[in-house]
Structure 1
């Protein structure tokens, strides 16, 4: 039987979204309270446009994800391969609902925002989870919240501040069925002894996303570089 779940997890944001330790502790504590894992693939899916930070070329992110995967139980999970590693900023819309003109206008608006955005460092922290996945915590959130706000405005969404609904993370494995969380919580605790990884984010991408064989696959439509002042 299919079960749905909210994409906003944890429900409340961390005390300090820009402090790696605060974010990691908050995510871990929330995962400890999960009563059961759900099947990630039970969620409905249609081909869609997404604003994403793709990590398939980030060696440090790939290495950390694979080290985390090595301590996870072999059963009940679909591991995320390097070519599918990503951080979602926001879904733009479904392909069959978004007119090309609206897409072009949004790209122009977001591109202007990215021109004034500086590249930023992002810490990837092992390991926590949600009801449907095992995932790396990330910090700081501020540059990601800014991107979320920009793409939301460009897409015509009128809603609350990103901090009320956006929970940045990088998935490393999806739960493939409804199951007890204990083995995954234990594995996440073990993975927390691994060192975090720091990467530099230099661009935002618009992709056309689809799902196949328990994996997400995408085609990059636009690469929007951050052209603001260079980091120290």
Structure 2
């Protein structure tokens, strides 16, 4: 683990020790509403048995008041937003996807590890490492967007790769959750191999994120 990743993990864990209660995750962000969809690039984990086994093991211990567990088919790593589906044209989507595929064709698949647990006020995630590979992929996607649009949505800085296992669903005390997490921090990590990056239309359904895959960009052609 690099010093940057370790420093983040330790800093966030220390902050969680002083957190009195959870912050509910499910408030509406600007522009979002029931039924509205958002184009975004995510890494998804449909065929990752090691990750699914780790997630199942952890979630058995995290079925606690205030936590909304993420289903296995809802696991994702948020990469780069594009815009609401009612504001982005089909032509722009096609052009951005084509440019992203051209730029990603020479990038090798990502070999990542997920874990240990990494909590904050709005949820419990898994640390993703190494960060630099995910950051390089995100920068490549942002570069593809910049060839079509003069302005790329979302800041380039402040990105922290993570995969959420449980979202905070109510402002409950954190002490019981902290005690449980202390027992789970030393489980073996899960290796994953990512060979494609989907562009999805994301929506919220009853405190779960769901999506439809719009296009798929493959790494290494």
Instruction: Determine if the TM-score, normalized by the shorter chain, exceeds 0.5.
Output: yes
TM-score by length of 2: 0.86
Closer/same/farther in 2, CA of residues 98 and 191 from structure 1, 3 Å limit: same
Asked whether the equivalents of residues 23 and 139 of structure 1 are also in contact (C-alpha less than 8 Å), the reply is no
Q: CA RMSD for the aligned pairs?
A: 2.2
Is 1:73–1:183's contact at 8 Å kept on the other side of the alignment?
no
Give the alignment partner of residue 176 of structure 2, picking from 179, 183, 197: 183
2:125 aligned with 1:135: yes
Extract unaligned runs of 5+ from structure 1: 1-13
Match of 1:81 among 71, 75, 83: 71
Match of 1:38 among 23, 44, 47: 23
1:16 aligns with 2:1: no
Which whole-Å deviations, capped at 9, do the CAs of 1:84-111 have from their partners, x for residues lacking one? 1111111111111111111111111111
Q: Is residue 91 from structure 1 mapped to residue 76 from structure 2 by the alignment?
A: no
Residue 204 of structure 2 is aligned to residue 211 of structure 1: yes
- Larger mean CA deviation between 115-124 and 185-194 belongs to 185-194
Alignment of 1:150-161 (within 5 A): 150-156=140-146, 157-158=151-152
Contact 2:103 2:144 in 1 (8 A): no
Matched position secondary structure for 1:40: coil
Listed one character per residue, the Cα deviations across residues 152-177 of structure 1 (whole Å, up to 9, x for unaligned) are 23334458974x31111000011111
Instruction: Tell me how far apart the structure 2 counterparts of residues 33 and 51 of structure 1 sit (CA, whole Å).
Output: 33
Return closer, same or farther for 1:222/1:30 CA change in 2, 3 Å cut-off: farther
| Secondary structure, counterpart of 1:16 in structure 2 | helix
Tell me if the contact between 2:123 and 2:168 (Cα under 8 Å) persists in the aligned partners: yes
Secondary structure at 1:87 match in 2: strand
Q: Contact 1:23–1:138 (CA<8 Å) still a contact in 2?
A: no
Pair 114,33 (structure 1): closer, same or farther in 2 beyond 3 Å? farther
Gaps of 5+ in 2: none
Residue 56 of structure 2 is matched in structure 1 by: 66
Matching of residues 115-134 of structure 1 within 5 Å:
115-134=105-124
Q: Does 1:28 align with 2:22?
A: no
